[in-house]
Structure 1
Amino acid sequence: MAFKKRKFEVIVMEINTEGKTAKEMYKLLTGSIAPRPIALVSTQDKDGVLNVAPFSFFTVVTSAPPTVMFSIGELNERKKDTLQNIEDNPEFVINIVNVDLGEAVNNAAANFKPDVSEFEEVNMTPVPAKTIDAYAVKESPIHLECVLDRIIKVGKGFMVLAQVKHFVIDDALYLGNYKIDFQKLNPIVRFAGSKYGEIGNIISLERIVNHDKTLQK
């Protein structure tokens, strides 16, 4: 399948970021950088209260060692429960979200009080992690059991780097040779505002190989 080029006159809107509010920038960023995967992060506080919350600023950092990143914003000038819990207990699970979990994940984003477990409020089932002191979401098809690498303060946000220590994967999704059937996984993705999406049209693009201007692996 080839991309079709459209001919049209480009009219641009220019917006300088200086002096703009965090809310204004959030809307521009989430509308422009889309779709985004969702990290459903399950943690526990010092008293053992379980917390689960979604974060759509989420990506892979490196595969050696396997490290992922998600970022947490401030909530009314205070730390969100997930961040506080990770500082108190640096072992947690990133649960991968599929379409079936969409409604529960959206509800888990509500601003619950610290002593309230989202697991109970949104009808998710906690199950003990296999290798760390944490709980995973049973309904999630892939669990990344993580330990904290570091937290980096960036402006009014916190970038959480986590090393993945163990994968728990639904057998129906595993193709062998360390490959996941992402079409069966059917991950839900985040756009802007209340808009979410799922996998649609898929194309395959081959890279240039054996070209005199490319380096050979």
Structure 2
Amino acid sequence: MTPEAVIFDIGNVLIEWQPERFYDRTIGEDRRRAMFASVDLHAMNDRVDMGGHFTRTIYAMAESNPDWRDEIRMWHDHWIELAQPEISRSVRLLRALRARGVPVFSLTNFGIQSFDYAATHYPFLTEFDRQFISGHLGVIKPDPKIYEIVETDSGIAPSALLFTDDRADNIAMAASRGWRTHLFDGPDGWADRLVAEGLLSETEAA
């Protein structure tokens, strides 16, 4: 059976998300390692992805860690530099699926304001048939509730959903619910999977 809908994660599937790389470039690897050891920036980002206000959450963390105040504010003030570049072949696959009439959804851990900001730089983020953005839903992957929301809202059987994500824990939770899954490790393998599922021809997936 051909999948009825294809679901994309965004970070490291459609847009590279490597905050450490940004900080290595701007403040140096040694200082970056010291900061990440001292301040749980990924937990801060999870709060944004759960619906916390983008600016207030990050600036509050900066004020509570004065030794790293300026560097933490960079997470907000230079955010697009953390979330780049787009993964161009993945974007082409998204558009090829939609051109074939295949419903394409996003399922992403992303803040409300940060997503809106990203969409001004990456217009393809507005091209999904359905958006499942954690900040709006108040729950992040791999909590089973967010997968249940997709199933209920779409009305599509889990076995007819094909989902790609770069994180094994997110993929494992989807698989446990009966979704078809693909652990994303680059657009070439994802293109091959879409062809194998009968969703795209080799030409369309090129």
TM-score, normalization by structure 1 = 0.25
Higher strand share: 1
Higher relative contact order (CA 8 A, sep 6+): 2
Report the structure number with the largest CA radius of gyration: 1
Higher helix share: 2
TM-score, normalization by structure 2 = 0.26
